[in-house]
Amino acid sequence: MPQLNVNGRLRECEAEDDTPLLWVLREQLGLTGTKYGCGIAQCGACTVHIDGVAQRSCVRPVSTVTAKEKIVTIEGLAPDAGHPVQRAWDELDVPQCGFCQSGMIMAAAALLKAKPKPTDADIDAAMTNICRCGTYNRVRAAIHLAAGQVQRKQIAIAIQTEGGAA
Ligand code: FES
Ligand code: FES
């Protein structure tokens, strides 16, 4: 029976080799914060971290992940949802319907780990997640807030223009 290292715990799972990691996380381990959107690596709703790197779990066969690799889902990102990205998301009321948001947060957290002070171009390059509610401007503002590059009052104008292109 394969083992996965998920959110700091070794977990047993039982699945065909080609079963996407997403379904093991959601259906066997009950970690339903990671969402299914497209199933073809386009939308990013299924984003988790594997050894700190954002990965789209809908196209990652579970058999290709070893127990040595550390999987982190939105549930394990930080105790009490206290990751700087989660706090910034909360402060700026980023989510609308919320469906894409755990994937957005996981992608943003991985970005900030790799680039603690990202430019807008860095954010645009890394944040390829799709949001049907159009939260892109708030996502960008919240990443800058989480990075400590701006203060809350400095981003009022940015979020007022919400609804435009990413
Ligand atoms: S569900 Fe994985 S990228 Fe859309
Ligand atoms: S908040 Fe609704 S899809 Fe992004």
Q: Could you report the per-residue pLDDT of 22-75, keeping only the tens digit for each? A: 999 999 999 999 999 999 999 999 999 999 999 999 999 999 999 999 999 999
Instruction: Report pLDDT for 140.
Output: 96
Per-domain residue ranges of the chain: 3-76, 79-160
Mutate which of 21, 25, 32, 42 for ligand 1 pocket (most atoms within 8 A of beta carbon):
42
Q: Which ligand does the CA of 98 lie closest to? A: 2
Residues with beta carbon inside 6 Å of ligand 1? 36-39, 41-46, 56, 58
How far apart are alpha carbons 9 and 33 in whole angstroms? 17
Could you tell me if the CB of 55 is within 6 A of ligand 2? Answer: no
The greatest distance separating any two alpha carbons of the chain, rounded to the nearest whole angstrom, comes to 53
pLDDT tens-digit series, residues 85-96: 999 999 999 999
Q: Is the pLDDT of residue 159 over 80?
A: no
pLDDT at residue number 68: 97
pLDDT of residue 37: 98
**CA triple 75-77-80, angle to 5 deg:** 70
- Which pair of tokens denotes residue 76? 């394990």
Cβ–ligand 2 distance for 98 under 6 Å, the answer: yes
Which fold is adopted by the domain 79-160?
DNA polymerase; domain 1 (1.10.150)
CATH number of 3-76: 3.10.20.30
Q: Which residues pair with 61 in a beta bridge?
A: 20
Sheet holding 70-72, edge to edge: 9-12, 3-6, 70-72, 47-50, 53-56
CA of 40 to the centre of ligand 1 (A): 6
